[in-house]
Amino acid sequence: MSSPSSSPAADASASRPPERNTRQRAAVSRALDELDDFVSTQELHRILTERGERVSLATAYRVLQSMADDGRVDVLRAADGEAVYRRCEVSVHHHHLVCRVCGKVVEVQAPAIESWAERIAAENGFTAVEHTVEVFGLCPRCSAERR
Amino acid sequence: MSSPSSSPAADASASRPPERNTRQRAAVSRALDELDDFVSTQELHRILTERGERVSLATAYRVLQSMADDGRVDVLRAADGEAVYRRCEVSVHHHHLVCRVCGKVVEVQAPAIESWAERIAAENGFTAVEHTVEVFGLCPRCSAERR
DNA sequence: TTCACTGCAAATGCTTTGCAGCGCC
DNA sequence: GGCGCTGCAAAGCATTTGCAGTGAA
| pLDDT for the residue A64 | 97
Return the HEC string of chain A: CCCCCCCCCCCCCCCCCCCCCCHHHHHHHHHHHHCCCCEEHHHHHHHHHHHCCCCCHHHHHHHHHHHHHCCCEEEEECCCCCEEEEECCCCCCCEEEEECCCCCEEEECCHHHHHHHHHHHHHCCCEEEEEEEEEEEECHHHHHHCC
Q: What is the pLDDT of residues B47-88, one digit of tens each?
A: 999 999 999 999 999 999 999 888 888 887 777 888 889 886
Asked if strand C contacts B79 at the CB level, meaning under 7 A, the answer is no
Q: How far apart are CA B39 and CA B76, in angstroms?
A: 10
Distance, in angstroms, between A40 CA and closest chain B CA?
13
Closest to A131 (Cα-Cα) out of A64, A70, A86, A80: A86
pLDDT band at B147 (very low <50, low <70, confident <90, very high): low
Q: Give residue B52's identity as a one-letter amino acid code.
A: G
DSSP-based three-state secondary structure for B76? strand
Q: Give residue B29's identity as a one-letter amino acid code.
A: S
Is B80 touching A (CB cutoff 8 A)?
Answer: yes
Q: How far apart are CA B44 and CA B50, in angstroms?
A: 10
Is the per-residue pLDDT at A8 higher than 50? Answer: no
pLDDT band at B92 (very low <50, low <70, confident <90, very high): low
Quick one: A17 exposed, middle or buried, by C-beta within 10 A (0-12, 13-18, 19+)? exposed
Residue A124: its chain B contacts at CB < 8 A? 97, 106, 108, 139-140
Asked if strand D contacts B59 at the CB level, meaning under 7 A, the answer is yes
pLDDT band at A105 (very low <50, low <70, confident <90, very high): confident
pLDDT band at A142 (very low <50, low <70, confident <90, very high): confident
Of A132, A135, A147, the CB nearest to B117: A135
- Least confident interval from A15-19, B51-55, B132-136: A15-19
| Residue numbers of A between 111 and 130 with CB closer than 8 Å to B | 112-113, 116-117, 120-121, 124-130
Find the mean pLDDT for residues B104-123: 85
**DSSP conformation class of B141:** H
Closest to A136 (Cα-Cα) out of B57, B91, B129, B66: B129
Of B106, B120, B137, the CB nearest to A108: B120
Closest nucleotide to B16: CA versus each C1': D4
Quick one: B135 exposed, middle or buried, by C-beta within 10 A (0-12, 13-18, 19+)? buried
Asked if strand D contacts A58 at the CB level, meaning under 7 A, the answer is yes
